[in-house]
């Protein structure tokens, strides 16, 4: 599988595992252990949208597109910027 296919698999599988909608991929790279993908997920929708609570999930996938591991590494408001 190539990068875009792996990224799509990560979004779909993480949504099933967590029950949250995967919004975007913020990083993707491959090394000897597999594909490392950071997936941004909406954990809580609010009004206004800028106060939605999002999370970054770090996933590790094998070459066939199966999640080997995942963990939430960060939680933040949509309108929050990194400092």
Of 57, 66, 50, the residue nearest 22 (C-alpha): 57
Of 38, 45, 34, 44, the residue nearest 11 (C-alpha): 38
Stated pTM of the model: 0.89
Helix (H) or strand (E) holding 24: strand 21-31
User: Does the residue 47 lie in any domain?
Assistant: yes
Number of domains composing the chain: 1
Helix (H) or strand (E) holding 16: helix 3-18
Residue 83: pLDDT band with limits 50, 70, 90: low
Tell me how long the chain is.
83
Residue keyed to tokens 């929708």:
45
User: Collapsing DSSP states into helix, strand and coil, what is residue 83?
Assistant: coil
pLDDT over 60 (residue 1) = yes
Mean pLDDT for the chain overall: 93
Give the structural domain span for 72: 3-77
CA–CA dist 37, 59 (Å, integer): 5
- What's the CATH number where 57 sits? 3.30.505
Q: What is the pLDDT of residues 25-51, one digit of tens each?
A: 999 999 999 999 999 999 999 888 888
User: Does the residue 66 lie in any domain?
Assistant: yes
pLDDT over 60 (residue 17) = yes
User: Does the residue 83 lie in any domain?
Assistant: no
């Amino acid at each position: 599988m190539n990068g875009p296919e792996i990224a799509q698999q990560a979004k779909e599988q993480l949504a099933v595992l967590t029950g949250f909608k995967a919004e975007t991929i913020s990083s993707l790279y491959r090394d000897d252990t597999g594909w490392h993908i950071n997936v941004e997920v909406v954990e809580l929708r609010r009004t206004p949208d800028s106060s939605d609570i999002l999370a970054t999930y770090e996933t590790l996938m094998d070459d066939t597109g199966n999640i080997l591991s995942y963990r939430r590494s960060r939680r933040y408001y949509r309108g929050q910027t990194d400092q």
